[in-house]
Amino acid sequence: MALANPKHTQFYTTSGTDADKVTTSKLTEVQTKWEADVSSGNNLKLLDHPDLGPLLYQMQQMQDELTELRRYVTSAELLVDAGGGSLPTSTKGLSSGDLYNNKGVIAIKT
């Protein structure tokens, strides 16, 4: 199954000349503010902000989800087939070729 097209758009870019380009000085300023807040345990300003606090909470939830996805993708859980057995991790004795859809069944065209 292929990944769907992303639904998000980028907030800013650090290269090019488009209107969404952020200057190095602005990015450094924001990074400095973030690092100051992080060094205080995120208790300085951002989490107390009535608008930014909930947004940061949600972003943390998203980071936790991404961490779990990374863990899952790199784990051996993906190497177990539906019948409970392990999928092959070696090409020894296996067919090779192009995958294709054969009436709903994935097959190998050798």
Residue 102, helix vs strand vs coil = strand
> Is residue 81 scored above 60 in pLDDT?
no
Question: Residue 84's pLDDT is what?
Answer: 59
* Structure confidence by residue, pLDDT tens digits, 17-32: 888 888 889 989 988 8
Question: Residue 85's pLDDT is what?
Answer: 62
CA 106 from centroid of its chain's CA atoms: 27
Question: Residue 96's pLDDT is what?
Answer: 73
Question: Residue 25's pLDDT is what?
Answer: 92
CB 43 within 8 A of CB 36: no
> Could you give the CA distance from residue 5 to residue 55 in angstroms, rounded to a whole number?
24
